[in-house]
Structure 1
Amino acid sequence: MGRRTGRAHRHPRTTALREFELKTGRPQAIYHAYHRGTEVFPTAEEIAIVRDPRTPRLLFLNWKPQGVSWARIAAGDPATDAYLDRLAAHLRTNFPEQFFFTVHHEPEDDVRPEPGSGYTADDYAAMFRHVVTRLRDAGATGIVATLVHMAYVPWNVQPWFPDLYPGDDVVDWIAWDAYAYSDPGYGHGDFAELMNRRSGQHPSWPGFYNWAAARYPDKPLMLSEWGVWHSDRNPGHKAEFYRSVGNQMRLFPRVKAMVYFDTPRNQQGYDSRVDSSPFALVAYRTLGRQAQFQVDVRPR
């Protein structure tokens, strides 16, 4: 299990991580952070987090380009290539360890399928391939390239959706982001519903886990973001959901990592904190003690 943090978090990242580990009663195996534009990463703080000798962790870094289209990056945009070369040099010198890495996670929201838009699904696949290949060719060999999907059924059934895939040689893991809702309606249910969310309007869609397990039989799968939104009208659901994770995890053996998104308020005002109620916190801490979540991330 792991924890996600974003740029908007008001606390220093180390503080936020320690607070989360304190309230959940366990260390996190993965630390997930987000960067954009021409930021060079990992930062000194992120390196210290994963090299902590008391609690070694794996790093998951998410990069989103800015100010340049997918198509231009794929074609070798000089400014982006110069940045990627600087980034690779930084990684060679300061962080040779393996780490999860993705480029523009959840691209589905930004696809513009019109030819020449610069943001077609084919443009995304070519951009992802260019970024990963250039970094690796420049010596950033620790990259574990991870394709992160949105797992939103209306996007999953679009004719362009399969074209987002950059290719087996530049994708090591397949990941997706999914959230559960505590009020009846869309996204309400147990862990199995979250993993294989369906739609009555698109009955042919088998659910994301089923689709990914069949489509990528040789790739490890990850929930790169997951969480349960609190509801004052149904405050007990979050604890019920955490219990369902423990009961149903065995049904999804291809999932090798899960990263929880803990926030008091997302852009829509939803609260995913594991301690939004005392019952939820007890259930989450119980979940974290289960055998399948006891992992050793130290190098061998």
Structure 2
Amino acid sequence: MNPVFTRVPRDRMSWSVLVAPLLALLLSTGLVLVVPSSTASAAAAPSCRLSRTLVPSCPGALSGAFIAPHSGESPAASVSRFERESGRRASIVHYYYRGDRLFPSTAESRSLRVGSGRRILFANWKPDDGYTWRQVANGAADGRLIREARHLRQNWNYRTFLAIHHEPENEVVAQAGSGFTALDYRAMYRHVVKVFRAQGASNVVWVMNYMGAQKWATQPWYDQLWPGRSYVDWIAFDPYKTAGLGGQDGGFSTLVNQYWGATSWRGAYRWARQKHPLKPVMLAEWGVGERSGDAGWKRDFFRGIAQQLPKFPALRALVYFDNDAADIAGNVSIDTTSQSLQGFRSFVRSGAVARIG
């Protein structure tokens, strides 16, 4: 089914309002309405709606991806290819931006359209390009912020995930005055949110996107990155299961809570639930590589998600990183082999994925 996302703040009309009069007419005239059993089951199922902050009301997580385009592909063509391969519509399409480039572009807007509805844009933006975090917090990039806020309000007035400078941990310079302390990051994030709100960009759903790696999470300044409850709608992490990133032992549960050794840190999901229990959690990037000597490992990893996801009730969005040449991670595309693709198809068609639209 095509996911449908309406323009803010229009409400969708209940399907029953449209169907009930037609059904009454058919019954009154003695006509018999024959509905295939699969359609009848779908019609009887409760509608899965999205909250103001894009949390699905039904079980499972929203599914989507960053899709690295093949040579010569437009954004729309790359999304269509990904969906053909995976066998399911993507609810979220993830793009990365920096600096003055306004988003989404016209070409990207086309990739987000699904008939009369829309896929959800997940924009990951570094507004500090050319500035320190402290300079942005102090207003140096306000012209850039205002232009983007107005662009989103006027040209893409749909609910949009927006992360501000994702994975800041490995860029922190802890010395006071560096412009890149954890507190400088927090101040920058808050300032961006304030400017957007002042410009009336009420369609933005704010994402705090951590790397979520133990190396940084155990630093004394880690908690200082947090912008504050009123500035964050979702918490996100970027875990991988590859030989070069995180290792390849265990299944989906170990991806969500990667950690090692004797430490107070027991994984990103546990940290989020302990520190910020009211916030939904997403994997803003996640990728799985092939395991040397085990041709079916990646397929089985994908297949196991449906059984393991219920252990993580706050995990409401899974945004894959579909790239055959990712930095460090390598080839984590969904179709590294036919078996891998088979496993991914099993995952997106399972109860792990929220059925919206």
TM bucket (normalised to shorter chain) is over 0.9
Larger RCO, structure (CA 8 Å, separation 6 or more): 2
Residues 212 and 238 in structure 2, CA contact (< 8 A), matched pair in contact too = yes
Change in 2 beyond 3 A, CA 1:159/1:98: same
Q: 1:71-110 alignment to 2 at 5 Å?
A: 71-77=134-140, 80-110=141-171
Residues 182 and 234 in structure 1, CA contact (< 8 A), matched pair in contact too = no
Q: How far apart, CA to CA, are the structure 2 residues paired with 1:101 and 1:184?
A: 25
* Residue 254 of structure 1, aligned match among 314, 319, 332: 314
User: What are the ranges of 5 or more consecutive residues in structure 1 without an aligned counterpart?
Assistant: none
Q: How far apart, CA to CA, are the structure 1 residues paired with 2:301 and 2:291?
A: 13
Q: 1:119-158 alignment to 2 at 5 Å?
A: 119-158=180-219
Change in 2 beyond 3 A, CA 1:184/1:97: closer
Q: How far apart, CA to CA, are the structure 2 residues paired with 1:9 and 1:36?
A: 22
Moved more, 85-94 or 246-255: 85-94
Is 1:244 the counterpart of 2:278 in the alignment?
A: no
The secondary structure found in structure 2 opposite 1:264 is: coil
In the TM superposition, what whole-angstrom CA distance separates every residue of 1:105-137 from its partner, at most 9, and x where no partner exists? Answer: 000011111111100000000000001110111
Change in 2 beyond 3 A, CA 1:8/1:63: farther
The secondary structure found in structure 1 opposite 2:118 is: coil
How many residue pairs get aligned? The number is 294
User: What are the ranges of 5 or more consecutive residues in structure 2 without an aligned counterpart?
Assistant: 1-62
| Amino acid in the other structure paired with 1:47 | S
Q: How far apart, CA to CA, are the structure 2 residues paired with 1:184 and 1:227?
A: 10
- Alpha-carbon RMSD across the aligned residues, in angstroms, is 2.0
Is 1:50 the counterpart of 2:112 in the alignment?
A: yes
Q: Give the percent of matched residue pairs that are identical in Structure 1 and Structure 2.
A: 37
Residues 69 and 78 in structure 2, CA contact (< 8 A), matched pair in contact too = no
1:173 corresponding residue in structure 2: 234
* Residue 14 of structure 1, aligned match among 69, 76, 82: 76
Change in 2 beyond 3 A, CA 1:107/1:272: same
Q: Give, in angstroms, the shift of residue 7 of structure 1.
A: 8.8
Residues 198 and 207 in structure 1, CA contact (< 8 A), matched pair in contact too = yes
1:26 corresponding residue in structure 2: 88
Q: How far apart, CA to CA, are the structure 1 residues paired with 2:256 and 2:246?
A: 16
Residues 2 and 31 in structure 1, CA contact (< 8 A), matched pair in contact too = yes
Change in 2 beyond 3 A, CA 1:269/1:180: closer
The secondary structure found in structure 2 opposite 1:68 is: coil
1:219 corresponding residue in structure 2: 279
| Amino acid in the other structure paired with 2:236 | A
Residues 196 and 206 in structure 1, CA contact (< 8 A), matched pair in contact too = yes
